[in-house]
Amino acid sequence: MVLVAIVGSHMRQIPNLNDAVVILQVSCGVVMAYGMLILPGVTLAVITYRLERPAEITQALNDFFWFSFMLPWPTFVLQCLALAYAILQDTRPRPVFPKAAAYINIVAPLFLIPSFGMHFVKDGPLAWNGAITFWVAIFAFGLPVVGDILCLTRAVVKERPVRVTDVVTDRSGFGTKS
């Protein structure tokens, strides 16, 4: 959720960007954090709380865990599209996000589409743990997230002002950054 807040704060700096785009990105990030982290985590806690349950109940809760972990991808797609729109609307000479990040945020979520039908297929590459539905989806999720983190890290490092207390003079008289 920290990443969502930082992305939202940088989106707010884009001139003439509608506030609804920032609100959409942040709200989708919050919903996704609940759907992919909190709800599955609570489900795992419930699964392990009473080990004497019948195996069928444990299996049903396990299925619920994986489905709640994998199915919130529509909110991630909206989040990526909101960020891509904001990046493409940024006309500043030095934007925080390069235009390539917008294209990654548009193309990568398209690979999440096969995950939509995971609850219809029980085995094979389109099952919840299949090569397409699980592994391609993990890559499609990770690519824009890692790309956005790299862009934000670069922006934060550039924004950080150098203060006089940050510079220490060594014996040769040249200033070195501490």
Which tens digits make up the pLDDT trace of 151-169? 999 888 887 665 555 555 5
Averaged pLDDT of the chain: 86
Asked whether residue 43 is domain-assigned, the answer is yes
Answer yes or no: is 170 within a domain: no
In a domain, 144, yes or no: yes
Ranking 36-40, 86-90, 143-147, 159-163 by mean pLDDT, the lowest is 159-163
Residue 52 inside a domain? The answer is: yes
Q: Is the pLDDT of residue 42 over 60?
A: yes
123-157 burial string, b = 16+ CB within 10 Å, else e?
eeebbbebebbbebbeebbebbeebbeebbeebee
| Residue 134 binned pLDDT confidence (cut-offs 50, 70, 90) | confident
Q: Tell me if 164 is assigned to some domain.
A: no
pTM: 0.79
Q: Locate all alpha helices (DSSP H) within 14-162, ordered by sequence.
A: 19-33, 39-49, 55-70, 73-89, 99-107, 137-159
Beta bridge partners of 177: 167
Total domains, the chain = 1
174 assigned to some structural domain = no
User: Range of 101's domain?
Assistant: 2-159
Cα–Cα dist 107/143, whole Å: 10
Other beta carbons less than 10 A from residue 101's beta carbon? 21
Q: Does residue 116 sit within a domain? A: yes
